[in-house]
Amino acid sequence: MEEYKQLVEKAKEAMTYAYAPYSNFKVGAALLTDTDKIYTGCNVENASFGATNCAERTAIFKAVSEGELRYKAIAIVSSSKEFTYPCGICRQVIGEFMPNGHIILENALGEIKVFEFKELLPGHFTQEDLNK
């Protein structure tokens, strides 16, 4: 649980870099790899809303671009008093690389929830599904 606290703190740091001029909804994520490296990400909005990228995918794409393909956990924080769960696209991307990992959520009140990935997206689409 101690490494999860560190992940939450790293996610909070990443959230300070969020570019959210349209929604003012800032999100930060910190990803723990199987090799114990941490990659962070923030949400990056765009006037063409479809070009916006979530914090979770930013962190994952940074890790993939550095050759890290397997993860233990991801922490997600936001500027909201509510818990910020990963969106559907992020859940699918998380499942590609972390089907057995943990998702740690902290709200602006400091409350924490921890989930196994499979709890948030059971039966997600996988590479094996492409070969059926």
Coil, strand, or helix at residue 6?
Answer: helix
pLDDT of res. 1: 65
Domain harbouring 8, CATH code = 3.40.140.10
Annotated binding site: 54, 87, 90
Question: Where in the sequence numbering do the catalytic residues fall?
Answer: 56
Question: Residue 132 domain-assigned?
Answer: no
Can you say which residues are annotated as belonging to the binding site for Zn(2+)?
54, 87, 90
Q: Give residue 39's domain range.
A: 2-126
Q: Pick from 76, 84, 83, 81: which is nearest to 58 by CA?
A: 76
Inside any domain, residue 7: yes
Question: Residue 5's pLDDT is what?
Answer: 92
Q: What is the pTM of this model?
A: 0.92
Asked if residue 114 belongs to a domain, the reply is yes
Which regions in the chain score pLDDT beneath 50?
none
- Of 63, 58, 75, 62, the closest CA to residue 2 belongs to 75
Within-domain flag for 131 = no
Q: How many domains does the chain have?
A: 1
Q: What is the pLDDT of residue 32?
A: 97
Residues 6+ apart with CB under 8 A from 28: 11, 12, 13, 14, 15, 16, 17, 18, 40, 41, 42, 55, 76, 77, 78
pLDDT, one tens digit per residue, over 95-107 is 999 999 999 999 9
pLDDT in tens, 110-131: 999 999 999 988 777 777 776 7
